[in-house]
């Protein structure tokens, strides 16, 4: 129960403090909350939009969470997402004149491989030279954006596109089919749910999942248990990069239907918040992705209805992460007043239960 | 190459290096106290937008720079409460601070897009900047000199001052420092606030000196490069100075190549150069230090006083 408490409190505090903050900034604070977090939920069209935006967020966040569990801090998902999109687009452009049901799966596979290849750079640097993956993976985001710009303005520009820096439109065999005809809901939405279920099974039932959890919780025990530090880094970055790349090609072959310079939308960064809000648990992440998707969808409609600046969305998202991190302490530690607990006895246990562990500690010391 | 052009290039290098140097020195002190604050980019953006807003509305760029320091220190205080008092994960909280700074700065800055501000330009009288060589000495923004002075001050503080030695002790072994009776959390709070103020000042350099305007994400990842430079500098102020000016050189090459119409390489390659250089530099420094690290021993670990 306490595991769920922190995210719920964090979202509630964000709504409350957000309303006050935006009122102080001269906006309609409570109107903004209503418009962003409540109104879209009562609009069936917005629900489609919610699912479509939540899908890439969830897929990226699930990959990141696997790494975060093992204390591998891949913050290069944005770049891995771009490279996934680019790799899949490469296949699309090469097969533009062809037809067949094999094209789309091939694009998806290359999307995954593209994200993995980009994540392999920090993995290789970390495991061979000991380069901190936080900085290397982040720097590669900026490089990926320039690579995208280069391809759009140069080799991949649509020759019939009136000199606009974008690729040709993908063909019908290169775009994601809609799962519900007449809506926006494309194949990426059920795929996101499938990824979550698979990741949940892997984390709960396989040795690899166990390895990622043990390395994060008890690094020394993991080393004694034979889990190599290098393999952990590789698994974490391949999972993160592969899924970010997957999300990238799903977006390119789905909502975008071509590659454009506006392709990077910050999902790679927002997914970090999704991963934490979902408690690094694949199923929790599905829920958290819906909450963060709500800030995008609601934020967009609040721009038109009450003139809230676009940047408000980012502020709400960051506040959510701040409040989550702040309330986490209530989950990890129970507040004990003054001298209520004798020294050495963990809070929340009766003295009888705690006695053996107290003795153990004394022996160890 | 004419003397005028050479001096202009050298001055551009100093200009590009200064914000990296100031933000990097701030982060260096923070990390020396044992705290890893990955929110530099966010604090720089808050500083940049605050400096711009205050400078345009008061007409006083100096006041803008001071306000930038205050606002970014305030943002750093949020980080400090979370990681020091509430013992939140430092990596996650630092990322949150960067995301927060990006959003808040875009929100505050929206009305200021497209207008210009009075700049924090050269301070010395005109006759001292009449020739190219004099200009190289006297023609900079005051922040360039401040960056150099700050390097010296931080070096002196960490190596010669009692308070600096206590700060290093806290960063190397918080429990030992606590046992001797040093206020671990207080030292770390002050270090984080200092780091925030420096990041804010560095951010204001972008909006008040380099480009007298505001745009979303104005600092374009320079805060992250500053953090990388701390690693490159092996946590030493002198090497931070060298690293910042080296990166100033890399960034100036990009600008000069564009200005000279150099088209052997795509402009996107030049734009990616500082980030690729950062990765390369991190790889070289890590390879050279294989097996050991100069990082403070308690970097990134939360401290809870034994009951």
CB B258 within 8 A of CB B69: no
User: pLDDT of A190-241, one tens digit each?
Assistant: 999 999 999 999 998 888 888 888 888 888 888 887 788 889 999 999 999 9
A354 has a pLDDT exceeding 70: no
Across the interface, whether the CB atoms of A134 and B93 are under 8 A apart is answered no
The answer to the question of residue B52 being in a domain is yes
**Which chain B residues contact residue A343 at CB under 8 A?**
307
Q: Do A314 and B102 touch (CB under 8 A)?
A: yes
Beta carbons of A138 and B231 less than 8 Å apart: no
Give the gap in angstroms from C-alpha A58 to the nearest C-alpha of chain B: 18
- B290: nearest CB among A130, A317, A326: A130
Cβ neighbours of A316 in B, within 8 Å: 103
What CATH number does residue B107 fall under?
1.10.3470
In a domain, residue B53? The reply is yes
Whether the per-residue pLDDT at A351 is higher than 80: the answer is no
Q: What pLDDT shows up at residue A256?
A: 95
Contact yes or no for A146 and B272 at CB 8 A: yes
CA-nearest of A259, A270, A269 to A87 is A259
The alpha carbon of residue A348 is apart from the nearest alpha carbon of chain B, in Å, by 17
CA closest to A149 among chain B residues: B268
Query: Are B279 and A125 an interchain contact pair (Cβ–Cβ within 8 Å)?
Result: yes
Q: pLDDT tens across B46-55, in order?
A: 999 999 999 9
Residue A217 lies in a domain: yes
For residue A361, pLDDT beyond 80: no
Q: Domain for residue B152, yes or no?
A: yes
Q: How far apart are CA A253 and CA A256, in angstroms?
A: 6
Residue B287 has its nearest CB partner, among A129, A149, A273, at A129
Instruction: Work out the percent of chain A whose per-residue pLDDT is above 90.
Output: 64
Show Cβ contacts of residue A178 under 8 Å, excluding neighbours closer than 6 positions: A184, A185, A186, A187
pLDDT score of A323: 93
Closest C-alpha among B224, B184, B167, B221 to residue B83:
B184
Q: What is the pLDDT of residues B256-271, one digit of tens each?
A: 777 777 777 788 888 8
- pLDDT reading at A328 higher than 60: yes
Using one digit for the tens of pLDDT, what is the confidence trace for A256-304? Answer: 999 999 999 899 999 999 999 999 999 999 999 999 999 999 999 888 8
Residue A185: name the closest of A55, A295, A292 by CA: A55
What per-residue confidence (pLDDT) applies to B254?
79
Taking an 8 Å cut-off on Cβ atoms, the answer to whether B104 and A315 are in contact is yes
Q: Which of B82, B88, B275 minimises the CB distance to A142?
A: B275
- Domain count along chain A: 1
Name the pLDDT band for A333 (thresholds 50, 70, 90).
low
Residue A299: CA atoms inside 13 Å, Cβ hemisphere, count? 19
Q: Structure pTM?
A: 0.89
pLDDT of residue A180: 87
The boundaries of the domain holding residue A297 are 54-306
Q: Does A136 touch chain B (CB under 8 A)?
A: yes
> Between A134, A311, A329, which is nearest B106 by CB?
A311
Mean pLDDT for B192-215 is: 93
Q: Which pLDDT score is estimated for A21?
A: 87
Report chain B residues whose CB lies below 8 A from the CB of A340. Answer: none
B304 located within any domain: no
* Alpha carbon of A177: minimum distance to chain B alpha carbons (Å): 34
Instruction: Say if the Cβ atoms of B283 and A315 lie within 8 Å.
Output: no
Reference B230, options B170, B178, B281, B164; nearest CA is: B281
Q: Is the pLDDT of residue A356 over 70?
A: no
For chain B, say whether A169 makes contact (Cβ under 8 Å). no
Report chain B residues whose CB lies below 8 A from the CB of A346.
none
The whole-number pLDDT of residue A2 equals 58
Contacts of B307 in chain A (CB under 8 A): 343
* CB-CB under 8 Å, A321 with B92: yes
Res A338: pLDDT: 54
Strand partners, B213: B116
A365 lies in some domain: no
- Examine residue B307 and state whether it is found in any structural domain, yes or no: no
Q: How many CB pairs under 8 A join A and B?
A: 133
Say if A365 is an interface residue toward chain B (CB within 8 Å): no
- DSSP letter string over chain B? --HHHHHHHHHHHHHHHHHHHHHHHHHHHHHHTT---TTHHHHHHHHHHHHHHHHHHHS-HHHHHHHHHHHHHHHHHHHHIIIIIS---HHHHHHHHHHHHHHHHHHHHGGGTT-B-------S-GGGGSSHHHHHHH-S-HHHHHHHHHHHHHHHHHHH-HHHHHHHHHHH-HHHHHHHT--HHHHHHHHHHHHHHHHHHHHHHIIIIISSB--TTTTTTHHHHHHHHHHHTTT-HHHHHHHHHHHHHHHHHHHHHHHTT--SS-HHHHHHHHHHHHHHHHHHHHHHTTT---S-TTTT-------
Q: Which residue of A has its CA nearest to B41?
A: A138
In tens, the pLDDT along A21-75 reads: 889 888 888 888 998 999 999 988 899 999 999 999 999 999 999 999 999 999 9
Q: Please answer yes or no on whether A273 and B282 come within 8 Å at the CB atom.
A: no
pLDDT, tens digit, 9 for 90 and up, residues B110-124: 888 888 888 887 777
pLDDT-above-70 percentage for chain A: 89
Residues B141 and B61: beta-carbon distance below 8 Å: no
Chain A positions touching B269 (Cβ under 8 A) are 146, 150
Q: Is A323 part of any domain?
A: no
- Quick check: is B55 in a domain? yes
ipTM of the complex: 0.89
A135, closest residue in chain B (CA to CA): B228
Q: Do B86 and A135 touch (CB under 8 A)?
A: no
Residue B26 predicted with pLDDT over 70: yes
Residue A355 has pLDDT above 90, yes or no: no
Q: Residue B218: is its pLDDT beyond 90?
A: no
**What are the chain A neighbours of B41 within 8 Å (beta carbons)?**
none
Tell me: the pLDDT tens digits for A85-126?
A: 999 999 999 999 999 999 999 999 999 999 999 999 999 999
Q: What CATH number does the domain containing A218 carry?
A: 1.10.3470
CB nearest A125 (choices: B81, B88, B283): B283
Q: Is A353 part of a structural domain of the chain?
A: no
Contacts of A313 in chain B (CB under 8 A): 103
Which range marks the domain in which residue B96 is found?
3-288
Query: Residue B293 domain-assigned?
Result: no
A24 in a domain, yes or no?
Answer: no
Contacts of A312 in chain B (CB under 8 A): 103, 107
Q: Total structural domains in chain B?
A: 1
* Predicted local distance difference test score (pLDDT) of residue A335: 57
């Amino acid at each position: 129960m306490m595991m769920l408490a922190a995210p719920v409190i964090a979202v509630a505090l964000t709504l409350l403090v957000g309303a006050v903050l935006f009122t102080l900034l001269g906006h309609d604070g409570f109107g903004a909350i209503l418009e962003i977090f409540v109104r879209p939920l009562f609009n069936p069209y917005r629900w489609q939009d919610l699912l479509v935006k939540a899908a890439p967020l969830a897929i990226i966040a699930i990959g990141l969470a696997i790494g975060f569990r093992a204390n591998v801090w891949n913050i290069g998902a944005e770049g891995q997402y771009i490279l996934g999109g680019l790799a899949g687009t490469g296949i699309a452009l090469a097969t533009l004149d062809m037809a067949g049901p094999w094209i789309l799966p091939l694009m998806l596979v290359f999307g995954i491989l593209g994200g993995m290849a980009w994540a392999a750079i920090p993995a290789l640097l970390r495991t061979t030279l000991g380069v901190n993956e936080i900085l290397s993976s982040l720097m590669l985001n900026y490089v990926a954006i320039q690579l995208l710009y280069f391809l759009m303005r140069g080799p991949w520009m649509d020759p019939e596109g009136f000199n606009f820096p974008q690729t040709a439109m993908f063909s019908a065999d290169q775009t994601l089919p809609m799962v519900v005809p007449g809506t926006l809901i494309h194949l990426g939405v059920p795929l996101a749910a499938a990824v979550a279920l698979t990741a949940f099974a892997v984390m709960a039932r396989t040795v690899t999942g166990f390895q990622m959890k043990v390395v994060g919780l008890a690094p020394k025990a993991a080393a004694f248990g034979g889990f190599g530090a290098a393999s952990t880094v590789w698994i974490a970055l391949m999972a993160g990069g592969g899924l970010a790349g997957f999300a990238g090609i799903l977006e390119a072959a789905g909502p975008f239907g071509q590659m454009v310079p506006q392709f990077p939308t910050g999902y790679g960064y927002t997914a970090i918040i999704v991963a934490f809000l979902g408690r690094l648990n694949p199923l929790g992440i599905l829920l958290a992705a819906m909450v963060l998707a709500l800030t995008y969808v609601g934020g967009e409609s609040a721009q038109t209805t009450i003139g809230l600046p676009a940047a408000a969305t980012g502020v709400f998202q960051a506040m959510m992460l701040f409040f989550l991190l702040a309330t986490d302490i209530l989950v990890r530690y129970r507040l004990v007043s003054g001298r209520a607990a004798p020294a050495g006895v963990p809070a929340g246990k009766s003295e009888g239960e705690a006695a053996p562990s107290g003795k153990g500690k004394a022996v160890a010391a | 190459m004419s003397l005028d052009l050479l001096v202009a290039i050298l001055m551009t290098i100093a200009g590009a290096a200064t914000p990296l140097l100031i933000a990097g020195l701030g982060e260096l002190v923070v990390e020396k106290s044992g705290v890893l604050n990955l929110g530099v980019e966010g604090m720089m953006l808050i500083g940049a937008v605050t400096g711009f807003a205050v400078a345009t509305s008061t007409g006083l760029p100096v006041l803008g720079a001071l306000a930038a320091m205050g606002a970014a220190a305030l943002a750093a205080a949020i980080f400090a409460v979370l990681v020091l008092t509430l013992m939140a994960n430092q990596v996650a909280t630092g990322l949150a601070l960067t995301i927060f700074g990006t959003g808040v700065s875009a929100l505050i800055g929206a009305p200021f897009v497209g207008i210009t501000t009075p700049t924090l330009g050269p301070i010395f009288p005109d006759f001292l900047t009449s020739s190219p060589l004099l200009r190289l000495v006297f023609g900079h923004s005051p922040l360039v000199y401040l960056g150099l002075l700050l390097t010296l001050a931080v070096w002196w503080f960490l190596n010669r001052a009692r308070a600096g030695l206590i700060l290093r002790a806290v960063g190397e072994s918080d429990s030992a420092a606590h046992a001797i009776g040093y206020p671990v959390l207080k030292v770390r709070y002050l270090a984080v606030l200092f780091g925030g103020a420096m990041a804010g000042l560095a951010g204001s350099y972008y909006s008040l000196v380099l480009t007298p305007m505001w745009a979303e994400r104005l600092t374009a990842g320079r805060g992250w490069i500053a953090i990388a430079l701390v690693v490159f500098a092996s946590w030493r102020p002198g090497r931070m100075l060298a690293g910042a000016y080296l990166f100033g050189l890399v960034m100036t090459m990009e600008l000069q190549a564009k200005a000279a119409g150099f088209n052997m390489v795509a402009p996107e390659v030049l734009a990616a150069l500082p980030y690729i250089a950062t990765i390369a530099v991190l790889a070289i420094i890590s390879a050279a230090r294989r097996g050991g690290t100069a990082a403070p021993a308690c970097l990134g670990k939360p401290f809870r006083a034994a009951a």
